[in-house]
Amino acid sequence: MSEQINQVPTMAEMMAQGKEVDILFWVGCAGSFDDRAKKITKAFVKLLNHAEISFAVLGTEESCTGDPAKRAGNEMLFQMQAATNIEVMNAYDIKRVVTTCPHCFNTLKNEYPQLGGNYEVIHHTQLINKLLNEGKFQIEGGDFKGRRITYHDPCYLGRANDVYEAPRELIEKLDVALVEMKRCKTKGLCCGAGGAQMFKEAEPGKKEINIERTEEALSTGAKIVATGCPFCNTMITDGVKNKEQEAEVKVMDLAELVAQAADI
């Protein structure tokens, strides 16, 4: 198992071998190219392999879902990107998709059906929670036992898709003290990256959104800020650095927390 823990098959390889997979892991642009988000991808892959989940990725056949283009107002580019992805996914007869990115999650789940892409789409926190409930791995008494952790709700996971409990159930299984920020769940505050804002300079104002959100996180006294989105991870990490608290406060994806607690 140790040699196979990091293996990631592609759909093309599996098809060439005449094998079927249960679920497609949609890696996303951040998980593929951003150095920090790659660590989240690797942690999730370790969990999938440890739980012996039959999965594959599209590899070079995967393109951006088109979310940034759509949010920035370029509907034509979005539909072009979506059409390409749907053609590839339908050719492989994809039924189920899991992703670590709420932006990909929301786009694949709610916007692709209108263009002919109909899939069961789940977020990685939902799948990890399910695997834990099924006893695929154990995390009781892990590295984080007794630690204070706060959780930041990604907009496209929480308010856009009402996924609030799975991430929190995961955190509770870590046997930690979950301390909620003042604005959480349905009243959660954006990290500042959504709506394609991730890729532009901040507009004039008294304070950037990620700084405001980081201040709320730090005010809880938590030493770990848990996230379920690579964009949120980047924005809050930048906020923690701005406050010169990076030596004291860690920003970690839930997949990383579970993988470390389970010693995978």
Q: Highest-confidence range of 3-7, 187-191, 260-264, by mean pLDDT?
A: 187-191
CATH of 139-261, one of 3.40.50, 3.10.620, 3.10.510, 3.30.420: 3.40.50
Tell me the average pLDDT across 55-66.
97
* CB contact set of 49 (below 8 Å; sequence gap of 6+): 1, 4, 5, 6, 7
Compute the distance between CA of residue 5 and CA of residue 264 in angstroms, rounded to an integer: 8
Q: Measure the CA–CA gap between 95 and 89, rounded to whole angstroms.
A: 9
Contact indicator for 107, 81 with CB cutoff of 8 Å:
no
Residues of the chain with CATH 3.40.50.1860: 11-129
Top-tier CATH class for 11-129: alpha beta
Share of the chain above pLDDT 70, in %: 96
At 4, is the pLDDT very low, low, confident or very high (cuts 50, 70, 90)?
A: low
At 203 the pLDDT is 77
Measured CA to CA, the distance from residue 254 to residue 257 in angstroms comes to: 5
Average pLDDT over residues 252-258: 97
Cβ-contact 217, 152 below 8 angstroms? yes
**Would you say residue 92 has pLDDT above 70?**
yes
* In the predicted structure, residue 3 carries a pLDDT above the cut 70: no
pLDDT of amino acid 1: 44
Find the length of the chain: 264
The 10s digit of each residue's pLDDT in 143-188 is 788 899 999 999 999 999 999 999 999 999 998 999 999 999 999 9
